[in-house]
Structure 1
């Protein structure tokens, strides 16, 4: 029999994290209700029948009866129904806040505008390989409250600005804001509010990791808080960074100590080197052995469809960045891989194209001129892309992705890189970017 505790907990907004919150609170014996503006919200069939539900609109009356409201990250706390509850003094919190209350175990907290998922996944693997009982999730993969079922000794959480907005005093063992660029301004209003939401991750933090190359990631915390930085320049003593040799070799380093060559890891590109350095700093903060972390890093192939290393064929490395569905993502991939290729005469062959969504492809011109030896165009917007990129590099056309892969093989030599990063949606040829990525991997594996 459930013990009914305290007042009513109302979950506002269902979906993945809402379902997780309802089930967690119900199992703990709390009186729970849930409201959602959708008539049939996702996950409505995954909660106990005894939980009171009010769907079709946010139930103002129900919200005002709450002892506490647990708000789903997809709901803006500034909507009238939530503001009315706040005006009555009803606390509005995230599921992350509920997790913090429910456990005294260590938390590694990760946020940023880009690369959160890569860093969260990699530091999770580093901790697991070092023998820690770890649970990884939050904004990535499993919802935070579901992770409590694993009874881990360590939580590694990817957190969004939406989750952090209603989280106070997370008291993480170590926290990082990886980088900050304009994002979600439609929700936060301006860059200052977005920055403020992200920096809530540092409330009560025991150790801080920040990005030297991005001053917006450095928090205002008490002077006694241990801080460690990572960046793509030569690091000071005890910090993480890059040391460059005269021949162009780049070493991931801690102070003057060279740890691993950038060419010895699968995840290539300066953006991924920064991610690796961030993980090493986070791992040090929670006491992971350096040798173990470097072994994990050496084997990590990246996340599927995000500059994911596929294989090497005749000295040419193939990368699947099918999730590069816009120009910004493709620029990061070209610049990141292009700058990291050794020796410097080696170049990138890129597969571009699909549905261009009205983007201005001239934004790719500089990077193509600098790093790309051949661009193979596929999909329905080939003519638009060709017009925008004329004169930058060799442009070829392919009728299919398979033919594009074969053309890339034909035009590359040892040390070159082949990159699928289309800068376009895929629906003209595929069901979505995952199918496009899987096909690319399949065709690369057929090469000989």
Structure 2
């Protein structure tokens, strides 16, 4: 089943990984289709990989192709409000995305994750839980593999990260469970109706879900839903937390499952991410022992609150992907340490106002190290901040004073362009130096 009965002419808008996955999927179908691609870039990525017989219009729109089409498949980066696409829609031509094609073809269970923050972590975590349980799982969508590319591998379970852009063009995706993690402003240039329009796009994830999972601590994620619902949050309801002998435990319906202190991921927001992942894992029958084993070992995606080194009682954590204020606030909020936080901040601040960090830092036992072009903007937020030129210098200074129970956290709240090619290069440099420095604190335990 592919849901393309009566379709002959298909136009794919946008190349790259998603567009190529669409073309390759259409070519694999048993029915013969007339496939054309439009990409307004002069040299679109992936053009050399197009199959023989697929025509490409590059550098401009081709209105005739659009208006002659039976179906238009739009890549998520292209707004449906684009005039050419509006004209096609007004002419009665159906516009869908790659996830809708996936929905019409998939014949195995699917769970999906959306939200403003944490999508990739929860998606990867559920995938790792499934692997630990011995399930052949495909993990992709807005992360890693394009959803359509995974269909040819015939997995037994699919775990998809879905953006609001992908959900805009998806209407028939049946999910065993769907979670909406949280809501904050993002992509407002795409949504003229503001936060409400953005959230409504994300709410589409629940349209055909058998189980809806929302965040009790962010009720903007709760759908108007007639089916089965559950939630996650920091009280003792559904997927939540309880106290056992003075320590916090993950719990399900008030029953303790695993101590929060055993979670390998760093940060309070990742406790919430673990609870959300558990809800999805339960929905598709992933063994809870396997789920707990995964949470004890899974240290996260590279550069996102990633535990790089944990030795001599000191944790070195790479959060280089925190290139803006909101990401760093998420990493710091609710952070609990036995010792001191050695926080590395700075880089290219992109003109941001960082004053919101002051009350967050005030609640922490923190030594702040400020580096890079705009490092001076952070030194005003706390007393006794240490100002250096580079991240490397900051790490050297921290290594001299850290003790067992401390954490060295790179969460810069800035872009990396003043000193690094990108946030990945910055994170890699942090991890490499942390590995070299780890033995320098061995005598301080």
Is 1:192 the equivalent of 2:192? no
Which residue in 1 is equivalent to 2:210?
A: 206
Per-residue CA shift, 1:362-401, capped at 9, x if unaligned?
2221122211421111112233332x32xx2321123433
Q: How many residues align?
A: 431
Is 1:320 the equivalent of 2:321? no
CA distance in 2, matches of 1:329, 1:157: 22
Which residue in 2 is equivalent to 1:368?
A: 361
CA contact (8 A) 1:95 1:144 kept: yes
CA distance in 2, matches of 1:30, 1:132: 34
Would the alpha carbon gap of residues 68 and 352 (structure 1) be closer, same or farther in structure 2, given more than 3 Å must change?
same
Q: Following superposition of structure 1 onto structure 2, how do residues 161-180 of structure 1 map, counting pairs within 5 Å?
A: 161-180=164-183
Q: Compute the displacement of 1:420 (Å).
A: 0.6
CA contact (8 A) 1:231 1:240 kept: yes
CA distance in 1, matches of 2:428, 2:42: 36
Is 1:301 the equivalent of 2:299? yes
Which residue in 1 is equivalent to 2:26?
A: 25
Q: Compute the displacement of 1:348 (Å).
A: 1.1
Per-residue CA shift, 1:40-94, capped at 9, x if unaligned?
2121112113101112212111011111100110111111111111112111001
Secondary structure of the corresponding residue to residue 355 of structure 2: helix
CA contact (8 A) 1:118 1:303 kept: yes
CA distance in 2, matches of 1:309, 1:194: 32
CA contact (8 A) 1:373 1:393 kept: no
Q: Compute the displacement of 1:245 (Å).
A: 5.3
CA distance in 2, matches of 1:63, 1:264: 54
- Give TM-score, length-normalised by structure 2: 0.93
Secondary structure of the corresponding residue to residue 227 of structure 1: strand
Secondary structure of the corresponding residue to residue 252 of structure 1: strand
Which residue in 2 is equivalent to 1:260?
A: 258
CA distance in 1, matches of 2:282, 2:69: 42
Is 1:413 the equivalent of 2:406? no
Secondary structure of the corresponding residue to residue 74 of structure 1: coil
Question: What residue ranges of structure 2 are gaps of 5+ in the alignment?
Answer: 440-445
Larger deviation, residues 197-206 vs 398-407: 398-407
Secondary structure of the corresponding residue to residue 378 of structure 2: helix
Q: Following superposition of structure 1 onto structure 2, how do residues 141-290 of structure 1 map, counting pairs within 5 Å?
A: 141-189=144-192, 190-222=194-226, 225-235=227-237, 239-244=238-243, 247=246, 249-290=247-288
Is 1:347 the equivalent of 2:337? no
Q: Compute the displacement of 1:5 (Å).
A: 7.9
Would the alpha carbon gap of residues 213 and 152 (structure 1) be closer, same or farther in structure 2, given more than 3 Å must change?
same
CA distance in 1, matches of 2:267, 2:230: 22
2:383 to 376, 383, 393: 393
CA distance in 1, matches of 2:14, 2:322: 30
Per-residue CA shift, 1:241-300, capped at 9, x if unaligned?
1123574x2211112221111111111211000000000110001111111110111110
Secondary structure of the corresponding residue to residue 57 of structure 1: coil
Question: What residue ranges of structure 1 are gaps of 5+ in the alignment?
Answer: none
Q: Compute the displacement of 1:20 (Å).
A: 0.9
Would the alpha carbon gap of residues 246 and 370 (structure 1) be closer, same or farther in structure 2, given more than 3 Å must change?
farther
Larger deviation, residues 352-361 vs 146-155: 352-361
CA distance in 2, matches of 1:128, 1:119: 14
- Give TM-score, length-normalised by structure 1: 0.93
CA contact (8 A) 1:170 1:202 kept: no
CA distance in 1, matches of 2:12, 2:210: 30
Q: Following superposition of structure 1 onto structure 2, how do residues 424-439 of structure 1 map, counting pairs within 5 Å?
A: 424-439=414-429
Q: Compute the displacement of 1:302 (Å).
A: 0.7
Is 1:87 the equivalent of 2:90? yes
Q: Following superposition of structure 1 onto structure 2, how do residues 21-170 of structure 1 map, counting pairs within 5 Å?
A: 21-28=22-29, 29-170=32-173
Is 1:402 the equivalent of 2:406? no
Is 1:14 the equivalent of 2:15? yes
Structure 1 segments (4+ residues) deviating >4 Å: none
CA distance in 2, matches of 1:395, 1:117: 33
CA distance in 2, matches of 1:372, 1:436: 25
CA RMSD of aligned residues (A): 1.7
CA distance in 2, matches of 1:192, 1:319: 35
CA contact (8 A) 1:6 1:31 kept: no
Would the alpha carbon gap of residues 141 and 210 (structure 1) be closer, same or farther in structure 2, given more than 3 Å must change?
same
CA contact (8 A) 2:376 2:387 kept: no
CA distance in 2, matches of 1:245, 1:284: 23
